[in-house]
Amino acid sequence: MKTFAEEYTFSKAELKVLKEIAKGNSALYLIQTKLSVKPPLITYIIKKLQTKSLIKITRKGTKKQATFNDTKHAILLKRLLSIYDYVDWENVLKDKAIEILFHLLNDSNKPVNVSRNTFWRYMKDFKSRGIITQEGKVNPQFRNLLDFLEEYQNFFVQKIVAKLSDTSVILWQYNWTLLIRTPKTTKVPTKNFHKTALSIFSLYDLPLFSDFDFYFYSTTKEVVKLEDAALHTLLLERDNVRYSTYALLLLKKMEKQIDKIYLLREAKHYGLEKQVKDMLEFLQTHIRPDGQPLPTWEEFAEKAHNYGVMA
C-alpha cells in the first residue's frame, strides 16, 4: 500500500512529462517520442498526474492531448516550469524533495521518515541551484516555487478532510497534522484519524455534549493521550476562556495521572507552553495570571463542582 508521502511526491519521469507539457508539447504521442518511453509507461505517468489534479486529457481527432488542469496548484506549477525552464526540475523535485521542501516551507525540522544523509544530500542540491539560502530557507527569488508548494500542500490537506464530510472544518494545522471538527454523524476512516479534545472527555468521566466531534489527523501518532486531549482542547480556540476551562477540568480531574514532562514538551510544539505552565500554576495557587484566557478561581470552582471535580 502506498504511503501518504508517495501520493504527492514526484518521480523523475513525471517531472519530465510535466516539463514537456509546459513547453506546449501536449500530444501524448509527441511526449512519448521525445522522452523515448513506451505507451504503458506514459499511460501510467499520466494517470498519476491526473490523480494529483495537475493535468487533464482531451482529444483532438484521434489523438490524445495532455494540458495543465485549471486547479490553482496546477496553474502555479505550469508557471514555475515556464519561468524557470533552465532548472533541471526532474532532478530537483524528484522523490523525497517535495517532502523536504514542505518542511522547510513550514519552518519545521527534518521530516521523520527522511534519513539525515538523504536530507543533507537534497539540501546540498537545493543550495547549489540557489533554491535554498545558506540559512536553510526557500530563496525569495523562487517565489513561484513557494506559491506552488503552499497550494500543492493545501490541495492534499483538503483531500484528507474530504474523506470526512463536506462540512468538516480544519481548526489547526501544522504540516500534515490537523485538528478537525466534524458533525457527529460523520463516518470517519480508522487510519490516521484519532478522536480527541472534548470528544474523549467522557473517557475520563467528564461527559461534555456537543453537536460536533473533534479528530486529530496524524500519520505518525498512534494514540491520543490524556495530555494530548487537554492540549487539543486549547487548540480549538486559543483565546477562549470556555475551552481553557474545559482543559483545566481535565487536568484537575486527572492530575495524579498527568505526565507533566510530556505535557509541557507537547505544549511547546503547539506554541502553548506558557499558557499550560500558567494553567498548572493556577491550579496550585488559585491565582489567575495576567494575560491568559482563564476563569477566576471562583468561576472554575463552580464549574468543577457541576462536573463532580474536586477543586
Q: What is the pLDDT of residues 208-225, one digit of tens each?
A: 888 899 999 998 899 999
Residues 23-39: tens digit of each pLDDT: 999 899 999 999 999 99
Split at pLDDT 50, 70, 90, the class of 42 is very high
Block residue for cell numbers 522522452 = 35
Question: Exposed e or buried b for every residue in 200-230, given b needs 16+ CB within 10 A?
Answer: bbeeeebeeeeebbbbbbbeeeeebbbbbbb
Q: How far, in Å, CA of 88 to CA of 304, rounded?
A: 62
> 68 falls in which pLDDT band (50, 70, 90)?
very high
Instruction: Report strand pairing: 169-174 vs 212-217.
Output: unpaired
Going by the DSSP 8-state scheme, the letter that residue 94 receives in this structure is: B
CA 21 to CA 26: how far, in whole Å?
A: 5
Q: Pick the closest to residue 31 from 52, 55, 7 (CA basis).
A: 55
Position 249 pLDDT exceeds 90: yes
Q: How confident is the model at residue 109 (pLDDT cuts 50, 70, 90)?
A: low
CB of 201 closer than 8 Å to CB of 245? no
- Domain-wise residue ranges, the chain: 4-154, 169-306
* Per-residue model confidence (pLDDT) at position 110: 59
What proportion of the chain, given as a percentage, has pLDDT over 70? Answer: 97
Question: Which pLDDT does position 2 carry in this prediction?
Answer: 60
Q: What is the pLDDT of residue 111?
A: 63
| Phi, psi (deg, nearest 5) at residue 42 | -65, -35
Distances (CA, A) of 221 to 31, 62, 101, 252: 42, 50, 22, 25
Residue 100 has pLDDT above 70, yes or no: yes
CA separation for the pair 243, 104 (Å, rounded): 32
How do strand 63-68 and strand 55-60 relate by DSSP bridges?
A: antiparallel
Q: How far are the Cα atoms of 12, 35, 42 from residue 28, in angstroms, in the given order?
A: 17, 11, 8
Residue 201, pLDDT above cutoff 70: yes
Alpha-carbon distance of 130 to 137, in angstroms, equals 10
Dist CA 27 CA 178 (whole Å): 40
Rounded percentage of the chain residues whose pLDDT exceeds 90: 73
**Per-residue pLDDT at 106 exceeds 80:** no
Distance in angstroms (rounded) separating the CA atoms of residues 159 and 180: 13
Residue-wise over 274-307: b if at least 16 C-beta within 10 A, else e? ebbbbbbebeeeeebeeebbbbebeebeebbeeb
- Contacts of 129-132 with CB under 8 Å at 24 or more apart are 129/87, 129/92, 131/87, 131/92, 132/104
The residue among 55 and 135 whose pLDDT is bigger is 55
Q: What is the pLDDT of residue 105?
A: 78
Predicted local confidence at residue 27, as pLDDT: 92
pLDDT at residue 140 tops 90: no
Q: Nearest to residue 126, comparing CAs of 99, 147, 101?
A: 101
Is the domain covering 4-154 a CATH 2.60.120 domain? no
